[in-house]
């Protein structure tokens, strides 16, 4: 086992996938000599060459369209989107093409494409470098949506996504690239999609989170112990397909549910989980389902103070835990 940062685990997965399958290619802006904006592809150009690590010109719509074409031609492209905020010009290609080709061809055509998307708030990122976009993709059947919360899962989930025969949006919490650390085996392994993980056992309430918010949820749950509150923490890992069964079993035990994400509260993915709990676990609930997310403002502000105001963190999560536990 090696103790790695999240970004290093992503890099290790990409190197492994390139080594074991000649059909895997990387496509993105500045991913060659520069090694990507966050360093995920550093050193890969020198090892695998410019026909496997392909620097694309600016233009996300064209880049994703070319990646879809490569996937239809027998390759397994991994397309790096510089920031989640810059994916909008490619939405037609992702939502109208990649997500629907298998359906419209009655299964004759598949698109084994992975879109690596750095997402979420980061200090100084401001309007165009700190957005959360998961709800855009979880709303579209035909896409799998994955969000790792730690280096071990990042490597295993990415290797699974690259091997998947259909498109996967792989959301990477960029604030966690050099914040989240953990032990990662040097060997290849896969973490299956569609399986959530109980990362902390508890009996007073269930806390559902993903990405960086899962780490903050664990911190808040540990802080709550001093107040006599035992929180069960669920790391979703995959939003689509969603492991609803794990959530239902936990809520059946605790009777209370808190959902945390850093996306805007209204229309965020937490609303879908809350609706499912209302439909499937109403009789198990001893309190209303609570959501904690970013406020409904157009973007994360540049100001450090306003950044802290926007972002959910351990202290805000702890306050929500207290409020739900008291109900």
Provide mean pLDDT across the span 159-186: 97
pLDDT recorded at residue 1: 86
Between 128 and 218, the higher pLDDT residue: 218
Does residue 55 have a pLDDT over 90? yes
Catalytic residues: 129
Domain 197-326, CATH class in plain words: alpha beta
Task: Return the residue matching tokens 């010009």.
Answer: 89
The answer, yes or no, to whether residue 123 has pLDDT greater than 90, is: no
Mean per-residue pLDDT for 173-194? 97
Backbone dihedral angles phi then psi of residue 192, each to the nearest 5 degrees: -65, 145
Which of residues 304 and 71 earns the better pLDDT score? 71
pLDDT tens, 271-310?
Answer: 999 999 999 999 999 999 999 999 999 988 889 899 999 9
Burial 119-135 (b: 16+ CB within 10 A, else e): bbbbeebbeebbbbbbb
Tell whether the model's pLDDT for residue 124 goes beyond 90: no
pLDDT of 126 strictly over 90: no
The residue-averaged pLDDT of 41-64 equals: 96
- Identical topology for domains 2-184 and 197-326: yes
Residue pair 318/224 in contact (Cβ under 8 Å)? The answer is: yes
Tens digit of pLDDT for each residue in 85-119? 999 999 999 999 999 999 999 999 999 999 999 99
Q: Which fold has domain 2-184?
A: Rossmann fold (3.40.50)
Confidence of residue 127 (pLDDT cuts 50, 70, 90): confident
* Domain residue ranges in the chain: 2-184, 197-326
In whole angstroms, what separates CA 45 from the centre of its chain? 26
Count of H helices and E strands in the chain?
Answer: 12, 14
> If pLDDT is split at 50, 70 and 90, which confidence band does 134 have?
very high
Does position 311 have pLDDT exceeding 90, yes or no?
yes
Predicted local distance difference test score (pLDDT) of residue 168:
98
Residue 217: what pLDDT? Answer: 98
pLDDT beyond 90 at 163: yes
State the Cα–Cα distance between residues 96 and 272, nearest whole angstrom.
Answer: 22
Please give the model's pTM, rounded to 2 decimal places: 0.97
Mean pLDDT for all residues in the chain: 97
* Per-residue model confidence (pLDDT) at position 102: 97
């Amino acid at each position: 086992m090696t103790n790695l940062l999240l970004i290093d685990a992503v890099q290790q997965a990409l190197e492994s996938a390139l080594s074991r399958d000649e059909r895997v290619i990387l496509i993105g802006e500045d991913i060659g000599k520069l090694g990507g904006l966050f360093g995920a592809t550093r050193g890969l150009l020198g090892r695998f060459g410019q026909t496997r690590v392909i620097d694309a010109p600016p233009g996300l719509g064209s880049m994703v369209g070319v990646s879809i074409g490569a996937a239809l031609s027998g390759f397994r492209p991994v397309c790096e989107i510089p920031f989640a905020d810059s994916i909008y010009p490619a939405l037609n290609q992702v939502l109208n093409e990649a997500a629907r080709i298998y359906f419209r061809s009655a299964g004759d055509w598949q698109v084994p494409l992975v879109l690596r998307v750095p997402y979420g708030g980061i200090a100084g990122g401001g309007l165009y470098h700190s957005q959360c976009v998961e709800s855009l993709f979880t709303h579209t059947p035909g896409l799998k949506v994955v969000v790792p919360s730690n280096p071990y899962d990042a490597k295993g989930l990415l290797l699974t996504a690259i091997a998947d025969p259909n498109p996967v949006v792989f959301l990477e919490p960029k604030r966690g690239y050099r914040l989240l650390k953990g032990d990662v085996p040097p060997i290849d392994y896969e973490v299956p999609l569609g399986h959530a993980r109980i990362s902390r056992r508890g009996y007073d309430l269930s806390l559902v989170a993903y990405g960086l918010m899962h780490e903050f949820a664990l911190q808040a749950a540990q802080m709550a112990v001093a107040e006599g509150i035992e929180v069960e923490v669920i790391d979703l890992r995959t939003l689509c397909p969603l492991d609803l069964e794990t959530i239902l079993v936990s809520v059946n035990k605790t009777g209370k549910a808190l959902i945390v994400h850093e996306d805007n509260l209204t229309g965020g993915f937490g609303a879908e989980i809350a609706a499912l709990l209302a439909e499937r676990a109403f009789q198990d609930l001893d309190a209303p389902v609570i959501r904690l997310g970013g406020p409904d403002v157009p973007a994360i502000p540049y100001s450090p103070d306003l950044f802290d105001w926007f972002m959910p963190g351990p202290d805000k999560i702890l306050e929500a835990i207290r409020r739900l536990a008291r109900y």
